[in-house]
Structure formats: structure tokens, C-alpha cells
Amino acid sequence: MMHTTVGIVGGGPAGLLLARLLHNAGIDSVVLELRDRAYVEQRQRAGILEQATVEALRAAGAGERMDAEGIPHHGIELRFGRRSHRLDFPSLTGGRSVMVYAQTEVVKDLIALQLADGGPLLFGAEVTSVEGAQSDSPVVEFVQEGRAQTLTCDYVVGCDGFHGVTRDAVPEDVRTTYERTHPYSWLGVLAEAPPVYDELVYAHSDRGFALASMRSPTVSRLYLQVPNGTDPADWSAERIWDELDTRLALDRDPGWKLERGPVTSKAVLPMRSHVTEPMRYGRVFLAGDAAHIVPPTGAKGLNLAAADVIVLARALARWRETGSAELLDAYSDTCLRRVWRAEHFSSFMTATLHTDPAQSPFDTRLQLSQLERIATSPHAAAELAENYTGLPLPR
């Protein structure tokens, strides 16, 4: 049996960032991660970091390689009606921007710090239950290398994702679930090819949505809207590139084509929205995907998870320093205000840029009208830019 102040279930970016913030505040923790280190460091997810996330990583001591290798982005390009319009983030938000730095690299940096001088980080630890949420010492049962073990904690934080077990510590008659399933998916592609543009391109077309992103100056991350149930094997590299050329086409440059390269991975990503309330029950807290899922269109998933653990780390530091649980008691309400704004923004971006299989020509004209307003109204453009770069974290 082990004991720690904070038991963290899940060694993804949220759990690892929380562990690092707690370490810097002098609070001990143990991180339990189901997968092995190699799997965690190769798990492909988001790559857009809001300014607040970037600042939190720097404060946690994980900013050196990000600042050297990350790609600052000061805007995005919207393409619709075969025309393009760029949104300049700093001029619209008072100086804010975002950083392109893959989640795989964030995780590698945080793991290296945790193993160097942090608390225990246990890979291959399968958490089977979280019990005693309403007691003074909740218990985490887990199995590692075939041996059943017990971790007692002052607090437990579930950073174990949508399919994790921590959410089950909140009784069904206590929690409320809000969710939406979208009628399309994304085909995500990683390719050894230079990026389309030096910033992200979000494209609305009558054939569906497309997104041209990047991982580095030589590696592109590309997405195509596809029907639910699509098999990635049905999409050859040639078909992927041809469809991207079509959806990203511009009237001003009719001969323009993407620079092609080998497709190194492809996968279909379902689009869903999900929120669990409350995000705290007794001494068990939920953070990141364990509490909420957003469609990837707004680039909010990783950033929402980071915001959750930043708020929680501050609350735990206040409790440690003063004995006051005031911020801990406010955790769920504080985070949910930001969560629902991010859900709204992600839903707006998704509905505006995607072509629903059942939508009418009238609906399409409404989408184009909205995009035209963003392109011509500083107020509409600022609203998008402020949400994309990230709303301020609560004090």
C-alpha cells in the first residue's frame, strides 16, 4: 500500500502537467498510466497550444524545447467560396497568438521532467477502481505487472480520458451527462510533405470540410470530412491528395496544387461533444477528456485539459498553504464556465465549416453568409480570434 497527497489517474498531457505544477508547489503526487512509455509518447493528438497553455508549460519548466522547435502562429486562413481570408490574431486580440507543437512532444518533455525529479510515474498501471470519494482518504486500486496494489490519497484526479474509470467514482444519480454525436467524421492524415501554407487553413467547400495543418516544416497534418463509418483503407494516398486539392482550391490560383509526399499514417476520428457535470465529487476531481470532449475543429481539447489542471493546481496550492478548501470547492463551477464556452465555440466552428449530409442549399448559404461576415466584420473576426487563441484563465 502506498500513500500520496494527490493520486493522478492518467499520464497524458493533463495528468503530467498537473504532476509538474504540484511538484513545483511542493505537493507530492503519484501518476498511474495504463500504457507503456513508448505508447504514450507516440499517441497522436492535438498540436495547437493556446497562449495560456504555452505560458503554463514554460512556468512548469517544460518550455525550452517547445520554444526552440514549436512554430508560433499569428493567424489562420479561412477558405470558402473558392476565396481566402486571413485572420490576424494579434491585431484582433491585443497581442495573443497560438503555438504549433505536437502533443507527442509536450508529453515527451513532461515525462522527462517527471522522471528526472518528480514523484512516481508508473507505466503499465491499470486502475481497476476508485473508491471512497466522500471519505478523507480515497483509494485507488490498480494492477501493475500482474500484482494488485493500493494507493491511498488525500485527493484523486481523473485524467484518464473518455473511457477511463475515474468518472465511475461519481455516482450515476449525482452526475449529469450532456452529449451530441455529429453526422460526420475526420480522416486524419500525416504526410511527409511541406505544409500547404505557413499557417493553418480551414476550408469550407461543397464537398465537405478540409483542414491543412502541420507538425514541422517538412511534415503536414491534414484532415478531410468523411461520412461516419468510413474505412481509412478505402482512401488511397492519391485519392486523399486529389480531394485536398479540390477542397482547398482558389479561383485566384486555379492551377495551384498541394506538394505531395508519402502518407505515413491515416485514421478516422469521430466527432462528438460530451460534458459531465459536476467535475468534482467529494475528494475526486475530473479533468480533461474524463469530464468533457469537444469536436477538434476549434483546437480546444488539449487546451481545456490544461486549463482544468492549472485551476486545480492553484486550488491545491491554496489548500496546502492556508488550509482553505474554497478554491477546491469552486473547481467544478470555475472549469465548467470555460468548458461550455469552448463547447459553444467548437460547435460553432464545426457547424459553420462542415457540410451536413442532410443540409439544404439554404443551410449552405447561411454558412457562407456567416463566413463572409467574419471576413468583413472586425467584431465577428475578433470573436473568433479571441476564442481560438483562448479565453483568459480565471484568477
Q: What is the pLDDT of residue 328?
A: 98
Confidence of residue 256 (pLDDT cuts 50, 70, 90): confident
* Structure confidence at residue 357 (pLDDT): 82
Residue in this structure with the C-alpha cell 461543397, named with its chain if needed: 206
On the question of pLDDT at 394 being above 90, the answer is: no
Q: Is 155 a catalytic residue?
A: no
Helix H, strand E, coil C: the string for the chain is CEEEEEEEECCCHHHHHHHHHHHHCCCCEEEEECCCHHHHHHCCCCCEEEHHHHHHHHHCCCCHHHHHHCEEECEEEEEECCEEEEEEHHHHHCCCCEEECCHHHHHHHHHHHHHHHCCCEEECEEEEEEECCCCCCCEEEEEECCEEEEEEEEEEEECCCCCCCHHHHCCCCCCEEEEEEEEEEEEEEEECCCCCCCCEEEECCCCCCEEEEEEECCEEEEEEEECCCCCHHHCCHHHHHHHHHHHCCCCCCCCCCCCCCCEEEEEEEEEEEEEEECCEECCEEECHHHCEECCHHHCCHHHHHHHHHHHHHHHHHHHHHHCCCHHHHCHHHHHHHHHHHHHHHHHHHHHHHCCCCCCCHHHHHHHHHHHHHHHHCHHHHHHHHHHHHCCCCCC
Confidence grade of residue 16 (pLDDT, cut at 50, 70, 90)? very high
- pLDDT confidence tier of residue 1, bands split at 50, 70 and 90: confident
Mean pLDDT score across all residues of the chain: 95
In angstroms, the CA 385 to CA 284 distance is: 34
73 among known catalytic residues: yes
The answer to whether residue 88 is domain-embedded is: no
Which residue of the set 195, 296, 331, 354 is catalytic? Answer: 296
Choosing from 202, 223, 281, 331, the catalytic residue is 202
What confidence score (pLDDT) does residue 253 get? 84
> The CATH number of the domain where 64 resides is what?
3.50.50.60
Q: What is the average pLDDT across 272-285?
A: 97
Active site residue 388: yes
Q: Does the residue 48 lie in any domain? A: yes
Does residue 122 sit within a domain? yes
Is residue 315 in some structural domain? yes
How many independent structural domains does the chain possess?
Answer: 1
Specify the pLDDT at position 198. Answer: 87
* 91-149 tens-digit pLDDT: 999 999 999 999 999 999 999 999 999 999 999 999 999 999 999 999 999 999 999 99
197 among known catalytic residues: no
Q: Which listed residue (23, 73, 182, 204) is catalytic? A: 73
* pLDDT tens profile 40-93: 998 877 789 999 999 999 999 999 999 999 999 999 999 999 999 999 999 999
From 184, 223, 331, 388, the catalytic residue: 388
Residue 322 lies in a domain: yes
Q: Which domain holds residue 175?
A: 2-72+97-180+272-354
In a domain, 214, yes or no: no
Domain assignment of residue 198, yes or no: no
> Residue 61 domain-assigned?
yes
Of the residues 292, 300, 331, 354, only one is catalytic, namely: 300
Q: Are 148 and 141 in contact (CB under 8 A)?
A: yes
